[in-house]
Amino acid sequence: MKLVGTIAAGLAALSLLGAAPPPPRPAIDGISHLAVYSTDMAKSEDFYVRVLGARKGADPEAPDGARFYFSTRQFVEVLPAPANHRPSMLAHVAYTTADAAAMRAYLAANGVGDLSPVRAGAAGERWFATRDPEGNAVQFVQPAPGSAPVASAISGRIIHVGHLVHDRAKEDGFYRRLLGFRPYWYGAFNPDKVDWVSQQAPDGRDWLEYMMVGPGSDVPLAKVDANQLGVLNHLSLGVVNMQAAVTKLYAENRLSKRHDGPQMGRDGKWQANFYDPDGTRVELMEYKAVTKPCCSGFTATDPTP
C-alpha cells in the first residue's frame, strides 16, 4: 500500500505540473513483412508463388500491389516500381505490435516525427508508418487475430529481415534504445570488421540484421550498387532441414534462375540464397547453428518453427 501511495503521489505531482507520464511501449513481438518493388509483377508472382510456394492475396495498402503470404500474419508485399525509383528495391520493413495506436502514441511522445495516421484493413489489421534515422521506411502492424502457416510455402516463418546500415550508433538509438531490440549475434568475414549485427525483437525471437557498409565493414561504399543492394536488403525464411528444403525445390523444378548455396554461414547455420527477378535476396536458413559461430556467441534464444 505504501508503494501504491508513492506512485499515486508522483502521478499527482506530474498532473499539478501539467506533465503527463510518458506512455509505455506496447509489445513488439516479431516481423510482419518486407515490402519490395518490382519491375515486372508477373515475374515477381512466379517467384513468390511457384518457387517459394507463398499464397497470393490482395494488398489493402496498394490496389496495384500484392501480398505473398508464408503464414496468415507474415508475408512479402510487392509493389510496382515507380518510374523514378532509386537503385534499392526495398520499400519498407514492418514489425508486429500488440497495439498500433499505442505504438504510434509512444513514438510521438518520444520525439519521433513523420508518423502516418493509423490505418485499418478489412480483416481487422491496423498499421502506421514512420522512418528510422537513416530514412528507411518502417511500419508497425497490429495483425488480425490468429496465425497459421501456408501449407504450400517452403517455409511458414520469416525469421529475420536485413537492410543496409551506414551508422550503427544512429540506428541503435532507434531500434535498441527506443524500441528495445536485444543483441543476438554479430560477425564479419574478417576479425577486425563488423559486417552483420543481429538483434531480436524485444518481445519475440525474430530479428533485424544490420547489413553494415562503409568504414569498419568489408563492404566499401563504392561497391554498393543495385546488385549489392539486393543482397543487403533481404528477408530470411526459417527451415528445419536445409537439405530437405533445397531437395524439394530441386526435385519440383522450383529453383530460381539465380541462386547460391547451400553453404555454412559465419553464424554456424546452414543457409541458401534465392533471388527474385529484381535481385532481392530471400535466404533460407536453419533455425539453429550446427557449428560454432565466428566472432561472437549467441546472446538470445533461437527462433522456433
The SS3 call for residue 221 is helix
What was the pLDDT predicted at 146? 83
Give residue 250's region: left, alpha or beta (phi > 0; psi -120 to 50). alpha
Q: What is the pLDDT of residues 45-95, one digit of tens each?
A: 999 999 999 999 999 999 999 999 999 999 999 999 998 888 999 999 999
292 burial type by CB count under 10 A (0-12 exposed, 13-18 middle, 19+ buried): exposed
Cα 235 to Cα 187: distance, rounded to the nearest angstrom: 18
What was the pLDDT predicted at 22? 76
Contact 286, 293 (CB under 8 A): no
The SS3 call for residue 171 is helix
The SS3 call for residue 11 is helix
Low-confidence stretches of the chain (pLDDT < 50) are 1-15
Cα 28 to Cα 203: distance, rounded to the nearest angstrom: 5
Selection from 106, 80, 87, 83 nearest residue 24 by Cα: 106
Q: What is the pLDDT of residues 168-205, one digit of tens each?
A: 999 999 999 999 999 999 999 999 999 999 999 999 99
What was the pLDDT predicted at 19? 59
What was the pLDDT predicted at 7? 38
Selection from 27, 105, 92, 26 nearest residue 59 by Cα: 92
Cα 56 to Cα 41: distance, rounded to the nearest angstrom: 12
Amino acid type, 142:
Q
What was the pLDDT predicted at 83? 87
Cα 87 to Cα 106: distance, rounded to the nearest angstrom: 33
What was the pLDDT predicted at 93? 98
What was the pLDDT predicted at 179? 98
